[in-house]
Amino acid sequence: MKDFFRKDRHLFIALALIAVGLILTTAVYRPGLGILNSAASRLIVPLENGINLIGTYITEKADGFRDNAALAEEVRRLTEENESLQAERAENAQKLLELERLTALYELDQEYPDYEMIGARVISKEPGNWYQRFKINKGSEDGVAVDMNVMTGGGLCGIVYQVGPHWAAVRAIIDDESNVSAMVADTADLCTVTGSLIDMDDGVILFYGLRDAGGLTMIGDRIITSGISEKFLPGLTIGYISELTEDANNLTKSGKLIPAADFRSLREVLVITAVKESAEEEAAEEGQ
Amino acid sequence: MRHTVTWAAATFIAYLAETCILSRTGTVMPDLLLILVVSCGFLHGKRAGMLEGFFAGLLLDLFFGETIGLTALLYLILGYISGRLCGIYFEQYVRVPVLVSFAGSLAVNFIIYFLGFFSRGRIRIPAYFLRLILPKAALTALVCIIVYKLIYLVHHRLDEAVRSRKHTTWLKD
């Protein structure tokens, strides 16, 4: 019995040392993380893709059923249509939902015609509530690379921070660790937009350091990504100001903004296949 | 062997359920894998609890974490602690894993908060505690009641199967 206890203790120490070693290694040496990550992802990403298909199927079915219930009542009350027709309508309603979503995405694509985008599906989200990160089903072999900007439903959604052959991990702009260099669209005054876990429940994110010298910024103003950001392409809509307060230093203002992207139902996203630097180089070449 | 395979499968299923289905809801989620770690330790002892904790934590770290190993370490310790309770209480006592899950979830999330948020100047402890840490621990404890019963049933079945096989061999001899 004593031997067993000793062995358990040894195993505990060994595993703890491995864990601490991993923490230190990945904290210092980032590429090592990628190797571990992609090895493990080979196993889990196909599974996630499968589960996601089922999940999407179920949610779409559920949406369909909801429509179906409403329609069936009307049908029963008014025309007493037969069952086969009902089924057909339910199916159409389901297709319509998908069509609406895709049309919305397409319109977004039209709004930013300068950038080439590829569509991707969200396959899984970070477990555990602390961070707002998710995975999409397109990776390096589809042309996705680290630092590419991700858009959805009318605005900036996040940025790719890790990439595998057929998946990429995206940090949403509402993540607590996310910081985006931004500006007010009308006045071009710069500020920084940051996610906040606590304010996320109210559907807002924070911005600070707005030097509004002319006092022209107002609630409802559009905030877009600034030209001086290292990683974000300029001119993408982030959101609209909902709260504006003067800081104690009387120089800068801070407040809250409502993001243009809808983070509650994140299913399809668009990845802009231009990284900040390369996009600028291309622009320069075109200029010549 | 059977137990190992069952636990590995359960861990994968819990992970997929958490990332692909529960996270779609956008509200506070229970720590499913933490429940598994606690249950495994409580049913099988320190050794199994530690291994389950280490690998379940590693799984969580690998796919989203930017620093791998923290959850593995925390779950390893939790598995060890719950393993120490193995054999002290009857396996039918749901309240033991439920209490350990509650306390474990509180502790783990507090540590994640301190390392990842407090250290970056997010110092509104009461807000984080009331909005996230406490609801999460309470939900984890609630879900643990159901999940542990399920695990206990499967565990009992597997044990019975093994025992009956042994029994027959013994009779044959």
The pLDDT value recorded for residue A99 is: 82
A12 pLDDT above the threshold of 90: no
Q: Does some domain include residue B165? A: no
ipTM score assigned to the predicted complex: 0.80
Does B62 contact chain A (CB < 8 Å)? yes
CATH classification at residue B92: 1.10.1760.20
**Interface contact flag, A23 B15, Cβ < 8 Å:** no
B138 pLDDT above the threshold of 70: yes
Q: Does some domain include residue B172? A: no
Q: How confident is the model over B2-13, as pLDDT tens digits? A: 888 999 999 988
Q: Does some domain include residue B173? A: no
**Interface contact flag, B131 A133, Cβ < 8 Å:** no
Q: Does some domain include residue B67? A: yes
B65 pLDDT above the threshold of 80: no
Does B131 contact chain A (CB < 8 Å)? yes
**Interface contact flag, A33 B66, Cβ < 8 Å:** yes
Does B127 contact chain A (CB < 8 Å)? yes
Chain B CB contacts of A126 under 8 Å are 19, 23, 64
Q: Does some domain include residue B16? A: yes
Q: How confident is the model over A244-270, as pLDDT tens digits? A: 998 888 889 999 999 988 887 788 899
Q: Which domain holds residue B124?
A: 2-157
Q: What's the mean pLDDT when you consider all of chain B?
A: 87
pTM of this prediction exceeds 0.90: no
Q: How many domains does chain B have?
A: 1
Q: What's the mean pLDDT when you consider all of chain A?
A: 80
Closest by Cβ to A52, choosing from B20, B32, B64: B20
The pLDDT value recorded for residue B80 is: 93
Q: Does some domain include residue B171? A: no
Which residues of B, range 80-119, sit inside 8 Å of A by Cβ?
A: 80, 83, 109, 112-113, 116-117
**Given pLDDT bands bounded at 50, 70 and 90, which one contains residue A191?**
very high
Q: Does some domain include residue B167? A: no
**Interface contact flag, A19 B76, Cβ < 8 Å:** yes
Does A59 contact chain B (CB < 8 Å)? yes
The pLDDT value recorded for residue A34 is: 66
**Interface contact flag, B122 A176, Cβ < 8 Å:** yes
Secondary structure, 3-state, chain A: CHHHHHHHHHHHHHHHHHHHHHHHHHHHCHHHHHHHHHHHHHHHHHHHHHHHHHHHHHHHHHHHHHHHHHHHHHHHHHCCCCHHHHHHHHHHHHHHHHHHHHHHHHHHHHHCCCCCEEEEEEEEECCCCCCCEEEECCCHHHCCCCCCEEEECCEEEEEEEEECCCCEEEEECCCCCCEEEEEECCCCCEEEEECCCCHHHHCCEEEEEECCCCCCCCCCCEEEECCCCCCCCCCCEEEEEEEEEECCCCCCEEEEEEECCCCCCCCEEEEECCCHHHHHHHHHHHHC
Q: Does some domain include residue B136? A: yes
The pLDDT value recorded for residue A42 is: 75
Does A26 contact chain B (CB < 8 Å)? yes
